[in-house]
Amino acid sequence: MNLTCMTQRNCRSLTPQQNSDKTIAVSYSGGKDSLATLYLALEAGLKPPIIFIDTGLEFPETVENVRMTAEKYGLPLVPSRIPGDNIVV
């Protein structure tokens, strides 16, 4: 079984019917890895809200990409704003 099939099988096990007390969401940064994660969740039949952490350091194009992705797939966007000067790297 390949990784995509295993991931989709795992996502299907998280369906709301089996986890009615839980909200399943995808953290989406606008990058390729989180887009792949979102895509796998959608392929598994989930319609997860998209969580986006906006540090204020993102490019405007990244923020727009996140908004457009949520709109394209008809998913709720749950943004959270954390001021960049409060982040320690």
| AA identity, residue 43 | E
| Residue (of 16, 36, 13) closest to 26 by Cα position | 36
- For residue 73, the domain's CATH number is 3.40.50.620
More confident call, 57 vs 86: 57
Q: Is residue 7 part of a domain?
A: no
CB of 39 closer than 8 Å to CB of 50: no
Q: Is residue 78 part of a domain?
A: yes
Q: Is residue 19 part of a domain?
A: no
**How many domains does the structure of the chain reveal?**
1
Q: Is residue 63 part of a domain?
A: yes
pTM more than 0.85: no
| pLDDT tens-digit series, residues 27-39 | 999 999 999 999 9
- Give the domain extent around 81: 25-86
| Residue (of 27, 37, 28, 36) closest to 65 by Cα position | 28
Q: How far, in Å, are 16, 29, 51 from residue 2 at the CA level?
A: 25, 25, 27
Mean predicted lDDT score pLDDT of the chain: 81
Q: Is residue 48 part of a domain?
A: yes
Q: Is residue 56 part of a domain?
A: yes
